[in-house]
Structure 1
């Protein structure tokens, strides 16, 4: 571990956690956005955990740490297979009053941390969401960011659709309740963490006056969610439903979170890649989806749009042929690789010269 010294060794206002695995060239912009934060390096620390990168990310992290030794705490570990283990390792090292999780593909606006900390202090927020905007073909929630609000509800203000960990958390809340990521989940491990934090929070706030967080879809589609296999994703979706049942009593609030998981994570298992899976894998995915619909779907699946209801009903019936035909006829789900020229254009957009860390 290479710890940040920090002037005076005092408690920073915010620790930014960055879990990294093979995220070049996007990582350069991510780390540069931390160097450029208006809150200043006396009030923040960046805890960057390299989860066994092999693409040059390790060298880039070391370069930033050398040039900004008071800002970066760096850890390198063997590849764990997902963001949960490096995120937990970073939480062990974090010293800030607040913790913010930043995707290694993504970056922040220059005043993001300063404005988030100010609002959280003024509102006594335990969890604070900042406005996200997408870059590339990434999707981000919109409803929850319709307005700045000192207090939002678990349900009714869009929170179930905004369960990524890209939020500001009061670290005392995390430590008081022993909140950590489930390291058995290669995908979606942030959602149970975020759900429990929000359930235990006294106040959840939203800062939506301007874009603060830029969420990037990689040009090669290699973000962790998109490169995780269908059966692994299915197991992780099962854990999401288990987490909602653990954190919330039966009723409309729990149903609202279940609706999100049917609408997003379970439906996405039947994307354009599904028909190309081996038949035994398709059958196992189908059977697993059927179990989830049967166990958690009453009164929830009926509220989905027609397209999703039809897909999940085919899965519930085990109709693999029907699913393949449904997907083939749906242009929104027919997989289309990005043209090479577009990939190159996006890569150029996020590439930086070697002197970027000096900014």
Structure 2
């Protein structure tokens, strides 16, 4: 079902905002308010609200805003697909703007965000433009890539690998020229291959970082889809991230930089707060899957991780699921240990490696992406 009053508009809007919605009340109200308040004006933008089978009142909230602002909001409803990929693709199918921007239904924008992004993209000839994100609640956002406004940044070396969420402005002609779409078989992390391909194809990637533009919200109930996805689902989707990187980048420093990011974030998070509570057979399956990734993609990459994460992945490589279950939730200084042999091994100093200008361009501290970039996954 589609409703809206944008069909009679002859001139294409400057920007189409796609919002994939699934049970996001009460955060959705602030999200929609922020779109109504955009200074770019309703004649220069369109908002495509794709309701992925919500059951919590989000549908009614969408209908209420569409009725109050019929020239701004177009609504589409479909059965629940299990992830943000399908509703995001549905929005792309009907988008008519010169640019497209993806906004999380939990999140909201500063009033001048879209106007300033479109202006900079037009002035710089940007195919992809990142706007400065700030966290709301216990949400982690990238910081390294937002140290300065830049007309052009590199694929690696300016923090981009740590900022792979889809909360960016994309030139829609680039997306359509290359047929870039979300992988609907990925319940989590589906935005990362989409963003990576767009950035690889882009002639220019820009950053607007002089003030906060995007407010990333961590729900109080932690029900964003990346947090709901089980470890085996996240493991399967992480495998697809490595496959996408290999498909889009030739072997070498660029590919290694993105692989390092995947090990640092998604793979290590498999052994995070909930790992010890998993059934033993599931813990072992996660270890086996992580070991498979380490064997396939770890050469020349793992040694550039920080020591705690290297030790975590070494345990996973050796299949020591029970040892990992006995360590603290986060990969960091150990506070309690159940295995004295493991304790002695973890205390063994790890020789720091020299920094490599291409494959190790970032200090990961303070540059972590939105946890699970698909936080609808951040």
Same fold (TM over 0.5): yes
Q: d(CA) in 1 for partners of 2:115 and 2:281?
A: 51
The equivalent of 2:289 in structure 1 is 288
Q: Per the alignment, do residues 43 and 7 of structure 1 end up closer, same or farther by CA in structure 2, a change over 3 Å counting?
A: farther
Q: Which runs of 5+ in 1 are unaligned?
A: 335-359
Q: d(CA) in 2 for partners of 1:269 and 1:317?
A: 15
More helix by share: 1
Structure 1 residue 281: deviation in Å? 1.0
The equivalent of 2:154 in structure 1 is 153
1:216 aligns with 2:217: yes
Q: Deviations over 1:144-182 (max 9, x none)?
A: 000000000000000000000000000000000000000
Q: Per the alignment, do residues 297 and 4 of structure 1 end up closer, same or farther by CA in structure 2, a change over 3 Å counting?
A: farther
Q: Deviations over 1:179-215 (max 9, x none)?
A: 0000000000000000000000000000001000000
Q: Per the alignment, do residues 233 and 209 of structure 1 end up closer, same or farther by CA in structure 2, a change over 3 Å counting?
A: same
Q: d(CA) in 1 for partners of 2:247 and 2:5?
A: 37
The equivalent of 2:47 in structure 1 is 46
1:56 aligns with 2:49: no
Q: d(CA) in 1 for partners of 2:170 and 2:9?
A: 24
Q: Deviations over 1:268-316 (max 9, x none)?
A: 1111111111111111111000000111011111111111111111000
Q: d(CA) in 2 for partners of 1:331 and 1:123?
A: 41
Q: d(CA) in 2 for partners of 1:157 and 1:258?
A: 16
- Of 325-334 and 12-21, more deviation after overlay is shown by 325-334
SS at the partner of 2:77? strand
Structure 1 residue 4: deviation in Å? 3.4
The equivalent of 2:342 in structure 1 is none
The equivalent of 2:251 in structure 1 is 250
Q: d(CA) in 2 for partners of 1:37 and 1:333?
A: 47
Q: Per the alignment, do residues 243 and 76 of structure 1 end up closer, same or farther by CA in structure 2, a change over 3 Å counting?
A: same
The equivalent of 2:353 in structure 1 is none
User: Any conservation in 2 of the 1:7–1:70 contact (CA below 8 Å)?
Assistant: no
TM-score when scaled to structure 2?
Answer: 0.86
SS at the partner of 1:326? coil
User: Any conservation in 2 of the 1:6–1:42 contact (CA below 8 Å)?
Assistant: no
Equivalent pairs, count: 334
The equivalent of 2:6 in structure 1 is 5
RMSD: 1.4
Structure 1 residue 266: deviation in Å? 0.6
The equivalent of 1:325 in structure 2 is 326
The equivalent of 2:344 in structure 1 is none
Q: d(CA) in 2 for partners of 1:268 and 1:109?
A: 31
SS at the partner of 1:24? coil
Structure 1 residue 5: deviation in Å? 2.0
The equivalent of 2:345 in structure 1 is none
Alignment of 1:252-291 (within 5 A): 252-291=253-292
Structure 1 residue 8: deviation in Å? 3.5
Structure 1 residue 10: deviation in Å? 1.6
SS at the partner of 1:218? coil
Q: d(CA) in 1 for partners of 2:194 and 2:321?
A: 34
Structure 1 residue 33: deviation in Å? 0.2
Q: Which runs of 5+ in 2 are unaligned?
A: 336-378
Q: Deviations over 1:12-33 (max 9, x none)?
A: 0000000000000000000100
Q: d(CA) in 2 for partners of 1:208 and 1:254?
A: 26
